Amino acid sequence: MHTALLHTDLGVARLYATDEALVRMDILDAAEEAAEVTEDTPLLARAKDQLTRYFAGELQAFDLPLAPAGTEFQRRVWAELLKIPFGTTISYHELAVRLGDEKCIRAAASANGKNPIWLIIPCHRVIGADGKLVGYAGGLWRKKKMLQHEMQFIRPEGTLF
């Protein structure tokens, strides 16, 4: 397993990858990062570049091989999250409907919260049915900041950039 660190406005992103795919991304506070050793591989360098471009407003969709560990259902949820366009949100209910069973809303929300590659698999784009920001493992302030970041690149007429 290879690891790398990237400083962002949200904290320090710690990326984990095999030679073939990104498998996890954690968000750390600066104090937690001090003892970390980084090891760049071509894949991790590519991931760091894409994340840097995302935060600069230059990238809306990531192009990285992903291999998050999870159950079959969790992987289905995460695959559905990847379909949510940049700068838009859906509700947990809508996520369940997209999965084919509106009754699986709690299971879908749980899987959303266990997403091991936050931001790249955009779990932050799922909100409450009433439009409120709910349920973000990295802290609601981070979810709000990511959504605000994305929304600033959407023109009023709905086109991107």
Distance CA 70, CA 63 (A): 21
How do the residues of the chain divide into helix, strand and coil, expressed in percent and rounded to 5?
Answer: 40, 20, 45
Q: Which residues pair with 25 in a beta bridge?
A: 15, 117
Distance CA 31, CA 22 (A): 24
Q: Active-site residue among 123, 126, 127, 146?
A: 123
- For the question of residue 123 being annotated catalytic, the response is yes
CB burial string 107-144: b at 16+ within 10 A, e below: bbbebbebbbbbbbbbbbbbbeeeeeeebbebeeebbe
Residues belonging to the active site: 123
